[in-house]
Amino acid sequence: MKDLIARQLYQPAVVLPLLLLMRLMVTLDFNLAQVMFVMMLKESQHAYHFVLRHAVARQRGNEMVKHIPCNHCC
């Protein structure tokens, strides 16, 4: 059972978001209002770029746009 839990939880898709959240919480001294505000701002940026990417793809004749340069993404 311990091995099953380890295989399910110790994956980058699970661990990395938790580590990013913990780093943000430590940076903001566990102030949940500020943490939620920062998370909402980041998610709104992601949503804006998602909509922008699809709008550009529609303008270009529905071809897939692989990358639109932006200032914050990796």
Q: 54 lies in which domain range?
A: 31-74
> Structural domain tally of the chain?
2
Q: Do 51 and 74 fall into the same domain? A: yes
Long-range contacts of 2-7 (CB under 8 A, 24+ apart): none
Mean pLDDT split into 10-residue runs, the chain, 74 residues: 81 88 93 94 94 87 60 56
Distance of alpha carbon 33 from alpha carbon 25, whole angstroms: 10
Q: Do 11 and 37 fall into the same domain? A: no
pLDDT for the residue 6: 79
Q: Do 25 and 38 fall into the same domain? A: no
